Amino acid sequence: MAKIHISATNATDKTIRTIDRKRERERRFILRKARDNAEEFSAKLVQRLLDRDVIETDSVQSLRDVFVDQLKKLPEMEEFDIQMKVAPIRTLIPDPNILSLYLTQYIIEDLINHPSIEDIFGDDIDIYRAIDSVFKVLRPQ
């Protein structure tokens, strides 16, 4: 019987594919859970952003509605679109939560122009930490 030869590059490729599959499953899980519980997470997120003085708004309800819409549409978005959105802040922290990164960049780029937003305070990392403190419960340990 012939002996199967396993080269170092073959083992490395296999390891990389395994890590990629794990990250993809985690991403799909997080986005589905966020969509399924969009109302609850939106309320918690808005409250956290207001408590930490990250966002100043004149309409809390319109802000909740914006986040509910974002959380519900994220699982159907193309991977490319999500990656393009988070590209400017991808290196913000090691091993980031993709949902927290996306919402951070959404706040920085898009939400700032929303009519009910008066101002947004803090650095990118402060905004990320406030968001991730809500969504870290979705991440498997």
Q: What is the mean pLDDT of the chain?
A: 90
- Whether the pTM exceeds 0.75: the reply is yes
- pLDDT score of 1 more than 70: no
pLDDT digits (tens, 9 = 90+) for 21-60: 988 898 899 999 999 999 999 999 999 999 999 999 999 9
Percent of the chain having pLDDT more than 90?
73
Q: How far apart are CA 104 and CA 139, in angstroms?
A: 17
Evaluate if residue 88 carries a pLDDT over 60: yes
Mean pLDDT over residues 114-125, rounded? 93
The torsion angle over the Cα atoms of residues 91, 43, 60 and 116, rounded to 10 degrees, is 30
Closest Cα partner for 134 from 59, 67, 60?
67
